[in-house]
Protein backbone atom coordinates (compact mmCIF):
# COMPACT_ATOMS: atom_id res chain seq x y z
CA UNK A 1 0.00 0.00 0.00
CA UNK A 2 1.27 3.46 -0.92
CA UNK A 3 1.96 6.05 1.79
CA UNK A 4 0.28 8.89 -0.14
CA UNK A 5 -2.97 8.69 -2.10
CA UNK A 6 -3.98 11.77 -4.09
CA UNK A 7 -7.59 11.85 -5.33
CA UNK A 8 -8.48 14.07 -8.30
CA UNK A 9 -11.23 14.32 -10.88
CA UNK A 10 -13.95 16.35 -12.56
CA UNK A 11 -16.39 18.49 -10.57
CA UNK A 12 -19.16 16.25 -9.24
CA UNK A 13 -17.30 13.03 -9.98
CA UNK A 14 -17.59 11.95 -6.35
CA UNK A 15 -13.96 12.52 -5.37
CA UNK A 16 -14.70 13.56 -1.80
CA UNK A 17 -17.15 10.71 -1.22
CA UNK A 18 -14.55 8.24 -2.48
CA UNK A 19 -11.80 9.90 -0.42
CA UNK A 20 -13.91 9.65 2.75
CA UNK A 21 -14.81 6.01 2.14
CA UNK A 22 -11.25 5.07 1.28
CA UNK A 23 -9.86 6.77 4.39
CA UNK A 24 -12.44 5.12 6.66
CA UNK A 25 -11.82 1.71 5.09
CA UNK A 26 -8.06 2.03 5.59
CA UNK A 27 -8.58 3.10 9.20
CA UNK A 28 -10.91 0.17 9.86
CA UNK A 29 -8.22 -2.11 8.42
CA UNK A 30 -5.80 -0.87 11.11
CA UNK A 31 -3.97 1.89 9.23
CA UNK A 32 -3.29 5.29 10.81
CA UNK A 33 -4.80 7.69 8.29
CA UNK A 34 -4.70 11.45 7.78
CA UNK A 35 -7.07 13.10 5.30
CA UNK A 36 -5.72 16.33 3.78
CA UNK A 37 -8.55 18.46 2.40
CA UNK A 38 -7.00 20.42 -0.46
CA UNK A 39 -10.30 21.46 -2.05
CA UNK A 40 -10.07 25.24 -2.40
CA UNK A 41 -12.80 25.65 -5.01
CA UNK A 42 -15.98 23.96 -3.74
CA UNK A 43 -17.45 24.89 -0.34
CA UNK A 44 -20.39 22.47 -0.62
CA UNK A 45 -18.90 19.00 -1.11
CA UNK A 46 -15.72 18.61 0.86
CA UNK A 47 -14.06 16.21 3.28
CA UNK A 48 -13.65 19.04 5.81
CA UNK A 49 -17.38 18.65 6.55
CA UNK A 50 -16.84 15.11 7.85
CA UNK A 51 -14.82 15.95 10.95
CA UNK A 52 -17.22 14.12 13.29
CA UNK A 53 -17.21 10.97 11.17
CA UNK A 54 -13.43 10.98 10.93
CA UNK A 55 -13.03 11.51 14.67
CA UNK A 56 -15.33 8.55 15.30
CA UNK A 57 -13.34 6.36 12.88
CA UNK A 58 -9.92 7.45 14.15
CA UNK A 59 -9.05 9.41 10.99
CA UNK A 60 -7.09 12.64 11.41
CA UNK A 61 -8.33 15.59 9.33
CA UNK A 62 -6.20 18.47 8.05
CA UNK A 63 -8.28 21.22 6.40
CA UNK A 64 -7.53 24.70 5.02
CA UNK A 65 -7.66 27.53 7.50
CA UNK A 66 -11.14 29.07 7.60
CA UNK A 67 -12.73 26.05 5.89
CA UNK A 68 -16.44 25.95 6.63
CA UNK A 69 -16.66 29.56 7.81
CA UNK A 70 -17.73 32.83 6.23
CA UNK A 71 -14.02 33.43 5.65
CA UNK A 72 -13.53 30.35 3.51
CA UNK A 73 -10.24 31.57 2.05
CA UNK A 74 -8.03 28.96 0.31
CA UNK A 75 -5.03 29.10 2.65
CA UNK A 76 -2.94 25.93 2.32
CA UNK A 77 -0.28 26.18 4.98
CA UNK A 78 0.33 22.42 5.13
CA UNK A 79 3.72 20.80 5.53
CA UNK A 80 3.31 17.46 3.76
CA UNK A 81 6.83 16.42 4.72
CA UNK A 82 6.03 16.78 8.43
CA UNK A 83 2.70 15.02 7.99
CA UNK A 84 4.43 12.09 6.29
CA UNK A 85 7.02 12.00 9.07
CA UNK A 86 4.20 11.17 11.50
CA UNK A 87 4.09 7.72 9.91
CA UNK A 88 0.44 7.97 8.88
CA UNK A 89 -1.04 7.26 5.46
CA UNK A 90 -2.03 10.49 3.70
CA UNK A 91 -5.23 10.73 1.65
CA UNK A 92 -5.25 14.04 -0.25
CA UNK A 93 -8.61 15.23 -1.58
CA UNK A 94 -8.17 17.77 -4.39
CA UNK A 95 -10.74 20.18 -5.82
CA UNK A 96 -12.35 19.57 -9.18
CA UNK A 97 -10.73 19.84 -12.60
CA UNK A 98 -7.49 21.71 -13.32
CA UNK A 99 -8.44 24.61 -11.01
CA UNK A 100 -8.77 22.22 -8.09
CA UNK A 101 -5.59 20.34 -8.95
CA UNK A 102 -3.46 23.47 -9.26
CA UNK A 103 -2.77 23.80 -5.46
CA UNK A 104 -1.06 20.38 -5.49
CA UNK A 105 1.66 21.99 -7.62
CA UNK A 106 2.86 23.75 -4.49
CA UNK A 107 3.93 20.34 -3.21
CA UNK A 108 5.10 18.98 -6.56
CA UNK A 109 8.75 18.53 -5.66
CA UNK A 110 7.95 16.72 -2.43
CA UNK A 111 5.51 14.39 -4.24
CA UNK A 112 8.13 13.66 -6.89
CA UNK A 113 10.67 12.80 -4.20
CA UNK A 114 8.26 10.19 -2.78
CA UNK A 115 6.69 9.18 -6.08
CA UNK A 116 7.40 5.49 -5.49
CA UNK A 117 5.20 5.74 -2.40
CA UNK A 118 2.51 7.85 -4.06
CA UNK A 119 -0.58 6.98 -6.09
CA UNK A 120 -2.60 9.64 -7.93
CA UNK A 121 -6.13 8.42 -8.59
CA UNK A 122 -8.33 9.93 -11.28
CA UNK A 123 -11.99 9.58 -10.28
CA UNK A 124 -14.40 9.52 -13.22
CA UNK A 125 -18.20 9.36 -13.37
CA UNK A 126 -19.41 8.65 -16.89
CA UNK A 127 -22.89 9.89 -15.96
CA UNK A 128 -21.59 13.43 -15.45
CA UNK A 129 -21.56 16.26 -17.95
CA UNK A 130 -18.20 16.60 -19.76
CA UNK A 131 -17.07 13.09 -18.79
CA UNK A 132 -19.82 11.02 -20.42
CA UNK A 133 -17.44 9.87 -23.16
CA UNK A 134 -13.90 8.52 -22.86
CA UNK A 135 -12.42 11.24 -25.07
CA UNK A 136 -13.84 13.94 -22.80
CA UNK A 137 -12.81 12.09 -19.65
CA UNK A 138 -9.25 11.82 -20.96
CA UNK A 139 -9.20 15.53 -21.80
CA UNK A 140 -10.15 16.43 -18.21
CA UNK A 141 -7.49 14.02 -16.95
CA UNK A 142 -4.75 15.67 -19.05
CA UNK A 143 -5.82 19.14 -17.88
CA UNK A 144 -5.54 18.01 -14.26
CA UNK A 145 -2.10 16.51 -14.86
CA UNK A 146 -0.91 19.69 -16.57
CA UNK A 147 -2.20 21.88 -13.72
CA UNK A 148 -0.41 20.02 -10.95
CA UNK A 149 2.61 18.87 -12.97
CA UNK A 150 2.13 15.24 -11.93
CA UNK A 151 0.87 12.15 -13.74
CA UNK A 152 -2.10 10.06 -12.63
CA UNK A 153 -1.31 6.44 -11.79
CA UNK A 154 -4.74 4.78 -11.87
CA UNK A 155 -8.46 5.27 -12.52
CA UNK A 156 -11.34 5.04 -10.06
CA UNK A 157 -14.57 4.29 -11.91
CA UNK A 158 -17.23 6.06 -9.86
CA UNK A 159 -20.05 5.99 -12.42
CA UNK A 160 -23.40 6.52 -10.71
CA UNK A 161 -26.64 8.49 -10.76
CA UNK A 162 -26.84 9.03 -7.03
CA UNK A 163 -29.89 7.38 -5.51
CA UNK A 164 -31.17 6.53 -9.00
CA UNK A 165 -28.19 4.25 -9.69
CA UNK A 166 -29.00 0.68 -10.69
CA UNK A 167 -27.06 -2.36 -11.90
CA UNK A 168 -27.38 -1.18 -15.52
CA UNK A 169 -25.70 2.13 -14.67
CA UNK A 170 -22.87 0.24 -12.99
CA UNK A 171 -22.40 -2.12 -15.95
CA UNK A 172 -22.22 0.72 -18.49
CA UNK A 173 -19.73 2.58 -16.32
CA UNK A 174 -17.51 -0.46 -16.02
CA UNK A 175 -17.41 -0.88 -19.79
CA UNK A 176 -16.43 2.75 -20.38
CA UNK A 177 -13.85 2.66 -17.57
CA UNK A 178 -12.15 -0.32 -19.18
CA UNK A 179 -12.10 1.59 -22.47
CA UNK A 180 -10.56 4.64 -20.76
CA UNK A 181 -7.97 2.43 -19.07
CA UNK A 182 -6.93 0.98 -22.42
CA UNK A 183 -6.92 4.43 -24.06
CA UNK A 184 -4.75 6.08 -21.37
CA UNK A 185 -2.60 3.13 -20.31
CA UNK A 186 -3.68 3.63 -16.69
CA UNK A 187 -4.73 0.69 -14.55
CA UNK A 188 -8.18 0.50 -12.95
CA UNK A 189 -7.87 1.03 -9.20
CA UNK A 190 -11.48 0.01 -8.54
CA UNK A 191 -15.10 0.17 -9.65
CA UNK A 192 -17.36 1.74 -7.03
CA UNK A 193 -21.06 1.39 -6.36
CA UNK A 194 -23.27 3.20 -3.83
CA UNK A 195 -24.75 1.17 -1.00
CA UNK A 196 -28.37 1.76 -1.93
CA UNK A 197 -31.23 -0.73 -2.58
CA UNK A 198 -31.43 -0.12 -6.34
CA UNK A 199 -27.93 -1.49 -6.85
CA UNK A 200 -28.98 -4.91 -5.61
CA UNK A 201 -26.78 -7.42 -3.85
CA UNK A 202 -23.39 -6.54 -5.29
CA UNK A 203 -20.22 -7.96 -3.78
CA UNK A 204 -18.12 -5.87 -1.38
CA UNK A 205 -14.97 -7.84 -2.11
CA UNK A 206 -12.33 -5.25 -3.05
CA UNK A 207 -10.01 -8.01 -4.27
CA UNK A 208 -12.04 -8.18 -7.49
CA UNK A 209 -11.90 -4.44 -7.98
CA UNK A 210 -15.31 -3.58 -6.50
CA UNK A 211 -15.49 -0.85 -3.86
CA UNK A 212 -18.80 -0.16 -2.02
CA UNK A 213 -19.50 3.44 -1.05
CA UNK A 214 -21.42 4.82 1.90
CA UNK A 215 -23.05 8.16 0.99
CA UNK A 216 -21.34 10.31 3.62
CA UNK A 217 -21.46 13.59 1.68
CA UNK A 218 -24.95 14.68 0.65
CA UNK A 219 -26.44 17.63 -1.20
CA UNK A 220 -26.71 20.74 0.96
CA UNK A 221 -30.50 20.68 0.51
CA UNK A 222 -30.82 17.14 1.98
Closest CA to 8 of 43, 51, 39: 39
Distance between CA atoms of residues 211 and 198, nearest Å: 16
148: in domain: yes
193: in domain: yes
Domain around 92: 4-213
CB atoms within 10 A of CB 164: 10
206: in domain: yes
- Binned at pLDDT 50, 70 and 90, residue 163 comes out as confident
Tens digit of pLDDT for each residue in 60-115?
A: 999 876 555 544 555 567 889 899 899 999 999 998 999 999 989 989 999 999 99
Bridge pairing between strands 4-9 and 118-124: parallel
CATH classification of the domain holding 149: 3.40.50.300
158: in domain: yes
- Specify the number of domains making up the chain: 1
Amino acid sequence: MKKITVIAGHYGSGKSTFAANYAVKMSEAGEKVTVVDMDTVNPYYRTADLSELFAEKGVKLIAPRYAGTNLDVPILDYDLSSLCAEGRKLVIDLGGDDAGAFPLGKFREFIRECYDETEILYVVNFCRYLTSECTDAEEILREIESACGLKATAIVNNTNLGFETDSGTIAKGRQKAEELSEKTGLSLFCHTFPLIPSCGNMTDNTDNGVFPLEIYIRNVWN
